Amino acid sequence: MAEEDGVRRRDFINIAAVSAAGVAGVGVVVPLVSQMSASADVLAASSTEVDISAIQPGQAIKAVFRKQPVFVRNLTPEEIKEANKVDVSSLRDPETLAERTKEGKENWLITMGVCTHLGCVPLGAGEGENKGEFGGYFCPCHGSSYDTAARIRKGPAPKNLEVPEYEFTSDTVVKIG
């Protein structure tokens, strides 16, 4: 009996020692994995302020947010009307224009300039660029077309262009992120 207890105690210590080595291994993995995520300077640079005072109705600009383009678009009344005419339930990613803009600032459509299909930059923000058959944005990589509320209407993209977090810090300045 005593013998058996001794054996069990010994086994326990060996198992404990191997487990400690395992814990150490897991402990080492934590910094190894975490060092690859965004560093402090990258995170700190993840908000951006855009001056929108010079954007006329019908125009759009490309700003940079998190090293990616953001489209800031001043919609014309016709474009707003066009967007509101659509039956939301028929959309692939049902959202109204109002849900995609700030109250009282429905003419300011601010979206990421990153196609939700595979990440190309859609056309339509620059002067004279192809806006696609729905008058919003058109991605030349695989032919996704977005409407005037930057909602996906045709082509392979699964989602509407993403609306980033943003706020109007004044009537002419938008802080994105």
Partner 1 sequence: MSFPWANEYKPSHPFMKWMDEKLPLPRLVYNSVGGGYPVPRNLNYFWNFGFLALICLTIQIVTGIVMAMHYAANTAVAFDTIEHTVRDVNWGWLFRYAHANGASAFFVVIYIHIFRGFYYGSYKAPREMVWLLGVVIFLLMMATAFMGYVLPWGQMSFWGAKVITGLFGAIPLVGEPLQQWLLGGFAPDNAALNRFFSLHYLLPFVIVGVVVLHIWALHIPGSSNPTGVEVKTESDTVPFYPYYIAKDGWAVGAFAFLFAAAVFFFPNSLGHPDNYIPANPMSTPAHIVPEWYFWPFYAILRAFTQDFFFIPAKLMGVLAMFGAILVWFFLPWLDKSPVRSGSYRPTYKKFFWFGLIPAMAVLFYCGGAPAAEPYVMFSQIAALYYFAHFLIILPIVSAIEKPLPLPYSITEAVLGKDDGAELAPTA
Partner 2 sequence: MARILSILVGLFFTVALLWSFGLGFYTWTTEPAAATAEHEFHLHPKNVHFASDGPFGKFDNQQLQRGFQVYKEVCSACHSLSHVAFRDLEQLGYSEAEVKAIAAGFTVPGTDPNTGESAMVPGSPTDYFPKPFANDIAARAANNNAVPPDLSLMTKARHNGPAYVYSLLTGYRDQPAELLKHFPEAKTPPGLHYNPYFANLNLAMAPPLSGDGQVEYGDGTKSTVDQMAKDVAAFLIWTAEPTLEKRKQTGWAVLGFLLFATILGYMSYRNIWSDKKH
State in angstroms the smallest separation of the CB of 63 from partner 2.
11
Residue 45 interacts with, from partner 2, partner 1, none (CB under 5-8 Å by kind): partner 2
Residue 27 interacts with, from partner 2, partner 1, none (CB under 5-8 Å by kind): partner 2
Burial (Cβ within 10 Å: 0-12, 13-18, ≥19) of residue 164: middle
Contact 97, 107 (CB under 8 A): no
Contacting range for partner 2; rule: CB under 8 A; set: 38-46, 56-64, 68-76, 92-100? 38-46
Give the C-alpha separation, 69 to 110, whole Å: 11
Give the C-alpha separation, 175 to 97, whole Å: 20
User: Catalytic residue at 142?
Assistant: yes
Which residue from 111, 118, 103, 105 is spatially nearest to 151, judged by alpha carbons?
A: 111
Burial (Cβ within 10 Å: 0-12, 13-18, ≥19) of residue 152: buried
Catalytic residue among 81, 105, 142, 159: 142
Q: Which of 17, 29, 118, 173 binds partner 2 (CB under 8 A)?
A: 17
Residue 118 interacts with, from partner 2, partner 1, none (CB under 5-8 Å by kind): none
Catalytic residues: 142
Residues that bind partner 2 (CB under 8 A): 10, 13-14, 16-18, 20-21, 23-24, 27, 40-41, 44-45, 51
